[in-house]
Structure 1
């Protein structure tokens, strides 16, 4: 399944995306702020695609007319989420390569995922998290209607082997229904 926006096609990940994933994931400004380490080579990126990204409801962000993965957006549902949410709730996770920062692509993709989550997946609530030092992610979530819900202190991140402060935001189905879409 693919999801289309004005400027993007959100599609399933393919093994052939390993080169483009590595191109963006080797940048120190991308992974660590999102909670994962810098990729060391294309083989590591391929392994991440196979083991983490090739799952239901996880999409490669591509620009229309180009089939190059420039980021990721997708859902972790219920107990698969990075923090405690309801069984029929979804956590939206995302990142995008540095050359595409500041162009409004993440909010555009997130709005499409909000519609996907409530309409196609029939989820009850949508959640996002952002680490205390990731103001860009906070702004993207606010633009999409997510509201502050709680802060979790000293959360262990096994992927980075560190402890972080994470702010959790939420969008309920009723809030979404009341939004100007």
Structure 2
């Protein structure tokens, strides 16, 4: 189970539904990330069993209490929202509003990057953020992702709308250079 100084990254469990609902029912979280607000604990439980039931999708929990406060995951190859190869992955993430601005998402993403490159043999990681989601941009930037391209009028099936999405990338070689430079 991946962990960091402050966080545990672990599989989701059905009993995480109340804490997931508490964070994902806030209108400031889902829509800016491209998914609808959770409407009930039962809705959150369904998301845990479907969307969050994939391998390499983790609950972010504080070590202090092990309560789920967000999500970080890898969508590998064809499971990604991007047209990528089977040895590449998309990084998906979000965290509840009470935990914004504490550096927890970059901390979780960096551990997920290490896991992807060292344990899973991933050659490149991709990330997207919708226009106006500056917090997401800053998190990616702190982790070494660089802007690759922008897609205008991209259809978002979860909210049935069209958005501008900025796509960032980091290769294993770029990550290794960053890791060796900061060691």
Settle same-fold status: TM greater than 0.5: yes
Q: Which residue of 1 aligns with 2:94?
A: 95
The yes-or-no answer on 1:38 pairing with 2:56 is no
Give the superposition deviation at 1:48: 0.5
Q: Which residue of 1 aligns with 2:55?
A: 56
- Unaligned residue ranges in structure 1 (runs of 5+): none
User: SS of the counterpart of 2:81?
Assistant: coil
Q: Which residue of 1 aligns with 2:9?
A: 10
Q: Distance in 1 between matches of 2:153 and 2:83?
A: 15
Bigger shift: residues 80-89 or 105-114:
80-89
Give the superposition deviation at 1:86: 1.8
CA deviations on 1:25-45 (whole Å, 9 max, x unpaired) are 110000000100001110000
The yes-or-no answer on 1:22 pairing with 2:52 is no
Q: Which residue of 1 aligns with 2:110?
A: 111
CA deviations on 1:111-164 (whole Å, 9 max, x unpaired) are 001100000111000110000110000000000000000001111111100001
Q: How many residues align?
A: 180
Q: Which residue of 2 aligns with 1:125?
A: 124
Give the ranges of 4+ consecutive aligned residues of structure 1 lying more than 6 Å apart after TM superposition. none
Q: Distance in 2 between matches of 1:10 and 1:169?
A: 23
User: SS of the counterpart of 1:4?
Assistant: coil
TM (norm. structure 2) is 0.97
RMSD of equivalent CA atoms: 0.7
Q: Which residue of 1 aligns with 2:70?
A: 71
Q: Distance in 2 between matches of 1:115 and 1:73?
A: 13
TM (norm. structure 1) is 0.98
Q: Distance in 2 between matches of 1:67 and 1:107?
A: 18
